Structure 1
Amino acid sequence: MDVSFQLYSARNFTPWEGVLDQLTALGYTQVEGFGGVYQDAPAFRAALDARGLSMPSGHFFPLASFEEDFDKSIAAARALGMAQIYCPAPDDIYREGADAAAWRDLAARLETAAKRVQDAGLRFGWHNHHWEFMPLPTGEIPMALLLEGAPSMEWEADIAWIVRGGGDPLAWIKDHATRITAAHVKDIAPAGEAEDEDGWADVGHGTMDWPAITAALRAAGVSLFVMEHDNPNDLARFARRSITSFRQF
């Protein structure tokens, strides 16, 4: 089974050649890109190829990456061999105080971006954080507005962020199974633990019911699973424990 790794998790443990060597030795066959590795896409692709790694997916932020910087983003994605590209977060203006109209406007922009990326021969989706699951004062859930207003857009579901936003991940997977094409796999530490790692845990070593969640995602047809930890203090430990645990789910 192929298991991917979000390279953002390793941003504090460069050089990248050493990171890629560690991941290869642990059995990872895929990685997911982010802006920190796109500066010289052909060179990074060569480093991946030399280790038998592929990059089927990547994050491009902000949404302007698919608007005024569209050609640059698509060129990087193609150079790195991506098939699926995701916008990983809303701009700051949406994170606090945005109303339903603003989220609907964002959805309209995402729908335009999705069609533009698809016309270029790639797949486009949204990657969530917690903001999208926090009810607006008027009762709407931003994630529902995004999915409704951007019907051409796929969804890379970050399951732990759904939980942190107050959502029920199994319910969201059930209700939107046809939209989810990839998933971020990370864990939440018990309350009061791992505070130096922003409360995140290695996969299988936290509070998330990953066996049940993985089963639901697979039933929905998801095949791209990306290990992630937003702020690990030990890259080797996180990468090793996470792939070991995930292989048991």
Structure 2
Amino acid sequence: MRYQISYQLYSSRNFPPLEAQFPTLKALGYDAIEPWLPAYEADAKSFRRALDAAGLACHGFHMPLSGLIDEPNRFFDIALTLGARFLIPPFVPEEERVNTSDFWKRLGETLATGAERARPHGLKVVWHNHNFEYVSLPDGSRPIEHILGGSDEVLFEIDCGWVTRAGANPAAELARYADRIAFIQMKDTAPLGTRNDDGWTATGDGIIDWPALVPLMRLTAAEHIVAEHDNPADWKRFAERSINYMRSLGL
């Protein structure tokens, strides 16, 4: 299977205007972009026109968790305007996190409610991880288990870079959640302690053993892979090196 490859537009947030990058991303071989708020917020219709003009799609987009709770219909409308099928809440601010299993179970229940509301619109809810979901709670469980435990309708965008930085094993997580994974972020990390570019790298330039992970990736339900770098000095170099490496792996 040939994956749809998306470029996470957050990678380019420091290099506006973002829409001017679309033709370059298409020329590099990307199929789609994965935007984050506020990239699409000001005018979703105009954003969609720019995507269409460049020949790019938007399969899913990052959105605030509060939007799923407080403004679901607004984000459903944005999804339909962009042609996206997946709503992806990606984060809980540190000041809002509580170090108990009950807190993360409630988050899982919230996502399940969001998924139920999204279903009639043909949309799905997907959780995106950082590192904190893999830090053990006092009872020995991990937040990710509770986040994805509320409903099978809540899918998963696994960020392999953050899994690795958390000290967890991407191979184990790919296998554990194989049937729930909708997107695989092939984010790579340099050796821990690296300061350049906040320690992130282009896919294939870091410490993650991607050739070993690819067979496990192919056993998941994912049809989409995503290139992301949290703070590249050169967005185009990152984008080009990443997609070239992904294609070299037969993806």
The answer to whether the Cα contact below 8 Å between 1:159 and 1:169 also exists between their aligned partners in 2 is yes
Aligned to 1:112: 113
What secondary structure, in the 3-state scheme, does the structure 1 residue paired with 2:79 have? helix
Aligned to 1:74: 76
Determine the C-alpha separation between the residues in 1 that align with 2:192 and 2:163.
17
Aligned to 1:14: 16
Partner amino acid, structure 1, of 2:228: E
- Is 1:54 aligned to residue 67 of structure 2? no
Aligned to 2:226: 226
Determine the C-alpha separation between the residues in 2 that align with 1:179 and 1:93.
28
Determine the C-alpha separation between the residues in 2 that align with 1:59 and 1:191.
26
Q: Are the structure 2 counterparts of residues 90 and 192 from structure 1 closer, same or farther at C-alpha, using a change threshold of 3 Å?
A: closer
- Is 1:208 aligned to residue 208 of structure 2? yes
1:126-165, Cα deviation, whole Å (9 max, x unpaired): 0111110000122111101111123320011111111112
Aligned to 2:94: 92
Q: Are the structure 2 counterparts of residues 216 and 94 from structure 1 closer, same or farther at C-alpha, using a change threshold of 3 Å?
A: farther
Alignment of 1:1-249 (within 5 A): 1=2, 2-38=4-40, 39-61=42-64, 63-95=65-97, 97-193=98-194, 195-249=195-249
User: How many equivalent residue pairs?
Assistant: 246
The answer to whether the Cα contact below 8 Å between 1:94 and 1:103 also exists between their aligned partners in 2 is no
Partner amino acid, structure 2, of 1:21: P
The answer to whether the Cα contact below 8 Å between 1:94 and 1:102 also exists between their aligned partners in 2 is no
What secondary structure, in the 3-state scheme, does the structure 2 residue paired with 1:89 have? coil
Q: How far did 1:211 drift? A: 1.6
Determine the C-alpha separation between the residues in 2 that align with 1:176 and 1:229.
23
Determine the C-alpha separation between the residues in 1 that align with 2:212 and 2:223.
15
Partner amino acid, structure 1, of 2:168: G
Determine the C-alpha separation between the residues in 2 that align with 1:131 and 1:150.
21
Determine the C-alpha separation between the residues in 1 that align with 2:14 and 2:110.
32
Partner amino acid, structure 1, of 2:138: P
The answer to whether the Cα contact below 8 Å between 1:87 and 1:127 also exists between their aligned partners in 2 is yes
Gaps of 5+ in 2: none
Determine the C-alpha separation between the residues in 1 that align with 2:157 and 2:220.
13
Q: How far did 1:181 drift? A: 1.2
1:84-112, Cα deviation, whole Å (9 max, x unpaired): 121111243454x4211111111111111
Determine the C-alpha separation between the residues in 2 that align with 1:175 and 1:94.
27
Partner amino acid, structure 2, of 1:98: N
Determine the C-alpha separation between the residues in 2 that align with 1:93 and 1:9.
24
What secondary structure, in the 3-state scheme, does the structure 1 residue paired with 2:92 have? coil
Q: Are the structure 2 counterparts of residues 103 and 94 from structure 1 closer, same or farther at C-alpha, using a change threshold of 3 Å?
A: farther
Determine the C-alpha separation between the residues in 1 that align with 2:18 and 2:177.
36
Partner amino acid, structure 2, of 1:90: V
Determine the C-alpha separation between the residues in 2 that align with 1:91 and 1:160.
19
- Give RMSD over aligned pairs: 1.4
TM-score, reference length from structure 2: 0.93
Q: How far did 1:79 drift? A: 0.7
